[in-house]
């Protein structure tokens, strides 16, 4: 009797969830270590780099990773074969873009730090950070291929390796400074981030080379596996998927960058000095938000693997399978969000005080707990909509909700302080969840 094969979505989710939880656990203690080592202002400086990192990833990698995953999944469903073509095509576009971005950040660091981030102290950190951009692009394209063929273990291990390398680098550098009687520099954290990207990229390249040299077919492949499709014909298909996603991510990244840079500036209008504004921003983005996102390891794993599964079923016209996956996603992610909300409301103040030594972090965690049901659900619903080819709808809904947040940043923060931004975050996340559900309900009503 033939043994029953495990469902790739379930197996992949388990793999990604376990490694994601381990990675986030390491990152959780890493954040505590950073907050105690560099202080709240240092964390604020470090978090100011996020807009640059997010924009560079949006420009060079994010859309191509998703497009590679979707294209590989569709080819597998329709043609019964898996090739390296989509990944190679994606790399041929993503890598040159990332090298240009690397040069732009490195040579324009002073302008970006002084004029855009409004904090000249971030310029040396930007130069270090710039070298992570090409590595991240290569890593993302390789991951897109493995997600598309449902081999979640390789991206999962590379994620864990990246985290371990990052933490190890910072621990060794800061430990050396302390032994020499010196004050550790926040630059060590940026160097650790870049080294982590290097290690994960090298591992991914080794994995793709081993896979290419292996004579064993990939899971889910048909008898034609291993044969390479003409690459030239893949460019229109991949660009048709990647360019709208990239444009969407860039617009969203720009809006998020405006939001991130504006929060400390609007807090100064509220009455804080520069040090206090950066400290509050650092506590919020560097301590409270990572804590809230910690359980998201499960929903993120489901979201990554839902995309190729939804894409396959949609390409084959199996709308009942799409409906079944959607209903289960809403049910279980919603329950998880409610459970986590209760936990954060009960333990938020304790976590802020005991773990981060910051009562302000406790206040943020408790308040942000209310967004959990929609935060975790939105991650997976977005992936389902991506698999259904509704990237345009996602873009419009995300822009609308970001504009809600920006309105609170510019209008509420100068009057009510950081509490005004928390209200905006709650309102936008609630709105986004409702819009996603309405969009999916309309699709299911039309096709089932």
Tens-place pLDDT, residues 107-154: 999 999 988 888 899 999 999 999 999 999 999 999 888 887 777 778
Say whether pLDDT at 221 is over 50: no
HSE (side-chain half, CA atoms, 13 Å) at 243: 6
* Separation CA 8–CA 209 (nearest Å): 23
Residue 312 resides in a domain:
yes
Residue 198 resides in a domain:
yes
Tens-place pLDDT, residues 54-94: 899 889 988 888 888 888 877 766 666 667 778 888 899 99
User: By CB neighbour count within 10 A (0-12 exposed, 13-18 middle, 19+ buried), where does 245 fall?
Assistant: buried
pLDDT for the residue numbered 435: 92
Band of residue 3 on the pLDDT scale cut at 50, 70, 90? very low
pLDDT for the residue numbered 383: 78
Residue 1 resides in a domain:
no
Tally of domains within the chain = 1
Tens-place pLDDT, residues 27-64: 777 877 887 788 778 888 888 898 898 899 889 988 88
pLDDT for the residue numbered 407: 95
- Contacting residues for 190 by C-beta, under 8 A, at least 6 apart: 46, 49, 125, 128, 129
Say whether pLDDT at 222 is over 50: no
- Please, are residues 411 and 421 in contact by the beta-carbon 8 Å criterion? no
Residue 225 resides in a domain:
no
Residue 71 resides in a domain:
yes
CA distances from 418 to 275, 278, 281, 321, 375 (A): 15, 12, 9, 44, 20
Residue 294 resides in a domain:
yes
- Containing structural domain, residue 116: 8-220+231-447
Residue 409 resides in a domain:
yes
Neighbours of 341 (CB within 10 A): 20
- Contacting residues for 269 by C-beta, under 8 A, at least 6 apart: 413, 414
Residue 226 resides in a domain:
no
Mean pLDDT of the chain: 81
Neighbours of 395 (CB within 10 A): 17
* Separation CA 189–CA 171 (nearest Å): 9
Q: Which of 75, 84, 83, 193 is nearest to 135 (CA)?
A: 193
- Contacting residues for 439 by C-beta, under 8 A, at least 6 apart: 385, 390, 393, 397
- Please, are residues 264 and 421 in contact by the beta-carbon 8 Å criterion? no
Say whether pLDDT at 342 is over 50: yes
HSE (side-chain half, CA atoms, 13 Å) at 115: 5
- Contacting residues for 3 by C-beta, under 8 A, at least 6 apart: none
């Amino acid at each position: 009797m033939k043994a029953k094969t495990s469902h790739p979505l379930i197996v992949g989710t388990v793999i990604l969830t376990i490694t994601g939880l381990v990675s986030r656990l390491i990152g959780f203690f890493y954040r505590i270590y950073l907050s105690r080592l560099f202080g709240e202002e240092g964390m604020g400086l470090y978090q100011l780099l996020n807009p640059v990192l997010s924009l560079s990833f949006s420009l060079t990698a994010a859309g191509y990773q998703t497009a590679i995953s979707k294209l590989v999944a569709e080819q597998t469903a329709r043609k019964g074969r898996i090739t390296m073509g989509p990944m190679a095509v994606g790399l041929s576009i993503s890598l040159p873009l990332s090298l240009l971005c690397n040069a732009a950040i490195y040579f324009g660091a002073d302008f970006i730090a002084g004029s855009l981030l409004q904090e000249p102290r971030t310029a040396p950190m930007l130069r270090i950070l710039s070298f992570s951009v090409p590595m991240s692009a290569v890593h993302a394209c390789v991951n897109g291929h493995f997600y598309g063929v449902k081999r979640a273990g390789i991206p999962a291990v590379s994620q864990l390796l990246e985290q371990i390398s990052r933490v190890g680098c910072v621990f060794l550098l800061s430990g050396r400074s302390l032994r020499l009687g010196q004050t550790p520099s926040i630059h060590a954290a940026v160097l650790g981030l870049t080294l982590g990207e290097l290690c994960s990229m090298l591992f991914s390249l080794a994995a793709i080379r081993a896979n290419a040299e292996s004579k064993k077919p990939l899971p889910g492949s048909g008898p034609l596996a291993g044969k390479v499709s003409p690459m030239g014909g893949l460019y229109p298909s991949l660009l048709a998927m990647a360019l709208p996603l990239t444009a969407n991510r860039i617009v969203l990244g720009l809006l998020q960058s405006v939001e991130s840079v504006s929060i400390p500036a609007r807090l100064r209008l509220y009455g804080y000095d520069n040090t206090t504004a950066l400290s509050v921003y650092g506590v919020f983005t560097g301590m409270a938000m990572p804590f809230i996102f910690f359980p998201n390891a499960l929903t993120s794993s489901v979201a990554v693997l839902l995309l190729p599964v939804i894409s396959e079923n949609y390409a084959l016209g199996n709308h009942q399978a799409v409906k079944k996956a959607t209903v289960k996603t809403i049910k279980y992610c919603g329950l998880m969000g409610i459970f986590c909300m209760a936990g954060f409301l009960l333990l938020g103040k304790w976590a802020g005080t005991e773990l981060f030594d910051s009562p302000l972090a406790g206040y943020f965690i408790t308040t942000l707990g209310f967004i959990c049901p929609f935060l975790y659900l939105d991650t997976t619903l977005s992936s389902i909509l991506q698999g259904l080819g509704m990237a345009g709808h996602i873009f419009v809904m995300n822009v609308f909700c970001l504009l809600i947040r920006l309105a609170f940043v510019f209008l509420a923060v100068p009057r009510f302080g950081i509490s005004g931004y928390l209200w905006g975050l709650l309102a936008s996340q609630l709105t986004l969840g409702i819009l996603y559900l309405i969009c999916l309900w309309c699709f299911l009503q039309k096709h089932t």
